[in-house]
Amino acid sequence: MNFAHGGLFTVGAYAGWLAYTQYDSFALGIVAAIVVTFVLGVVIERILIRQYYARPKEDQILVTFGLGIVLVETVRAIFTAQNKLVPTPPWAEGSVQIADLVYPQYRLDVVGIVIVTLAVVWLIVFKTRLGLIVRAGIDDSLIVEMLGIDIGRAFMLVFALGAAVAGLAGFVDSPILALTPDVGTAVLVQSFVVIVIGGVGSFGGAIVGGIVAGEIISLTSVFAPDWAQVALYLAMALVLIVRPQGLLGVVGRA
Amino acid sequence: MILGPVGDRTGWKVEGATALFLVLFPALLALFGVGTDLGTRILILGLFGIGVDLIFGYTGLLSFGQAAFYGTGGFITANLLIHHNVPNALGALAIGTLGAALAGALVGSLALRQVGIYFAMLTLAFGQLFYFLENSPLRAYTGSENGLPGVPKAIFTAGPWTLDFSSSLGMYVFVAMIYFGGFFIARRIVRSPFGAVLRAIRENPERALAVGHRVPRYKLVAFTIAAAYGGLAGGLLGIFQGYMPPEAFTIDQSGEIIVMTVIGGPGTLIGPLVGAGVWTLLRQGLQNIDVIAGIWKLILGIVFVLLITGFRRGLVGAAIALAGRLRPAR
């Protein structure tokens, strides 16, 4: 997770939108969002981020924050600040009735896409050699390098993978949100809150945090709409006081 | 150590040079055809940035939620003045500053439980909490998206005498005096034993803790002082504009003050003022050029990324390093 992910979310959304509307294929939009942000992730890591691994954490935060600005402003310069309408793909129009609830079909499909993406990321992180190297490298990069493993390449691939997931999220989300260059920033902050509630470094925590955050916003919207957003952040403060590592977090992973 | 440890040899030179600069600044701006109001705006941001510099440049705490305090101080001050609850601007500013400091102590006591990127994320999230509070539940006091118009100017009366700072230059003088006071106090803080401990925390928190300093306490005090600076600057913004804008609470505001501080030079106190000047004047300048009017923020973003990568200590840090190299070795 880094502060450039808001910008990558935006870039993914616009790349996907462009491919989708040009060639009238939602699948192509997904491919474009993933490929563009993955390649961008590789380039950013090679040119900039790798110089920062040995520098203070605060510098890494600053440079990714700055990159976020550059990405969002580049998108604004190319596509203007005007809202883009991203149509729901035809196969996902309409709504489904589940018991008493009427639910838009597309949102259910998004849930499916999210589950597949989570599964793929989980497999990469926990079941492949790449994931093993990166997890070992976070614990002790010196030992990993002494074993003759090119840890720089592994970090690059994981950075790019993170970028691609952010890009995919941006595109998949765009038929639900109005697409503007600033979509990423709002989502970035909410994702931080989700991580704080769920727990840093915990895969399940992110999912649980997301569900809890969604419930808080929806339920408060019904009873006290003015307080919906505020309630989310108050819940975050409460989690911090009662359980600083987050609901499913592990102590020492922050 | 950028301005030297406790008891450095700069004496009062820095304060003197700053005072001189503040006197000459409006004339300098006029030379380039820039109005005094822009100078006032730069000083307000510079004052806001002193707080950011105290926690980031000196203590190593990177907060992305400083707009919360800028807005809190601003809206408290504006409310007090609009409803004539206090007799004059100084009283309102004092209460606004205190309110922001309290908010800072509250946010700090929660966010400072974490360090590094986690701390940065928390401050960003708390900044949003304040934004949404302003935006909806507290709209009776904040005007929600419209902000608060009609903030009275700084006019002081005592018996038959009146001191009126409502002109453009008058406002500049008023803000410049407060800026200088804030700068002076901040210099005292960073050159005191307290300031030395803050730097120790920045360089090596574990060691600072090991030699017996109560690191969490020091961090909280520094964070609270930074919030007070933000609140004071926010209050001045409302008085200066005659209008308190809701944008004071936004993420963009929090991000911009960080960018200004880093461009100018963290750990120098004067850096944020330089950064605010560069940001504000470049923005003004670039917006006047047709071709790049739309991309001024992109250009500043690229400058920012290049600066952190190349000149970690910003423009002022680079200037100090250059001056040190030019001086012959003794």
- Our CA-based measurement puts residue B122 at a distance from the nearest CA of chain A, in whole angstroms, of 8
Exposed e or buried b per residue across A210-244, where buried means at least 16 C-beta atoms within 10 angstroms of its C-beta: bebbeebeeebeeeeebbbbbbbbebbbebbeeeb
**Cα dist from B42 to B158, B172, B227, B254, B279, whole Å:** 30, 10, 18, 16, 9
* CB proximity B132 to A under 8 Å: yes
* CB proximity A250 to B under 8 Å: no
Partner-chain contact A229 B113, CB within 8 Å: no
Mean pLDDT on A80-96: 81
Give me the tens of pLDDT residue by residue for chain B, a chain 330 residues long. Answer: 444 444 566 778 889 999 999 999 999 999 988 899 999 999 999 999 999 999 999 999 999 999 999 999 999 999 999 998 888 899 999 999 999 999 999 999 999 988 888 899 889 989 999 999 988 888 888 887 888 998 888 888 877 888 889 899 999 999 999 999 999 999 999 999 999 999 999 999 999 999 999 999 999 999 999 999 999 999 999 999 999 999 999 999 999 999 999 999 999 999 999 999 999 998 888 888 777 777 888 988 998 999 889 888 889 988 888 888 887 655
Structure confidence at residue B329 (pLDDT): 59
The ipTM is 0.87
> How far is B242 from A90, CA to CA, in rounded Å?
52
- Our CA-based measurement puts residue A192 at a distance from the nearest CA of chain B, in whole angstroms, of 6
Structure confidence at residue A254 (pLDDT): 43
- Our CA-based measurement puts residue B214 at a distance from the nearest CA of chain A, in whole angstroms, of 20
Partner-chain contact A2 B117, CB within 8 Å: yes
Q: Which of A236, A232, A210 is nearest to A219 (CA)?
A: A232
> How far is B318 from B312, CA to CA, in rounded Å?
9
A149, two tokens? 């493993």
Structure confidence at residue A80 (pLDDT): 83
* CB proximity A114 to B under 8 Å: no
Structure confidence at residue B8 (pLDDT): 62
> How far is B276 from B48, CA to CA, in rounded Å?
10
Residue A202 has pLDDT above 90, yes or no: no
- Our CA-based measurement puts residue B264 at a distance from the nearest CA of chain A, in whole angstroms, of 14
Structure confidence at residue A136 (pLDDT): 87
- Spell out which residues of chain A touch residue B134, defining contact as CB-CB under 8 Å: none
- The residue of chain B with its CA nearest to that of A52 is B309
Structure confidence at residue B328 (pLDDT): 66
Structure confidence at residue B330 (pLDDT): 54
SS3 content of chain A, % helix, strand, coil (to 5): 75, 5, 20
Burial class (CB in 10 A: 0-12, 13-18, 19+), B320: middle
Mean pLDDT for chain A? 87
pLDDT over 70 percentage in chain A: 97
Tokens 């390098």 -> residue: A145
- Which residues have CB under 8 Å from B255's CB, separation 6+? A65, A69, B64
* CB proximity A226 to B under 8 Å: yes
Structure confidence at residue B1 (pLDDT): 43
pLDDT over 90 percentage in chain A: 30
* CB proximity A185 to B under 8 Å: yes
Structure confidence at residue B98 (pLDDT): 98
Partner-chain contact A56 B60, CB within 8 Å: yes
- The residue of chain B with its CA nearest to that of A56 is B116
pLDDT (tens digit per residue) in A176-194: 888 999 888 888 888 888 8
How many other C-beta atoms lie within 10 A of the C-beta of residue B153?
16
* CB proximity A73 to B under 8 Å: yes
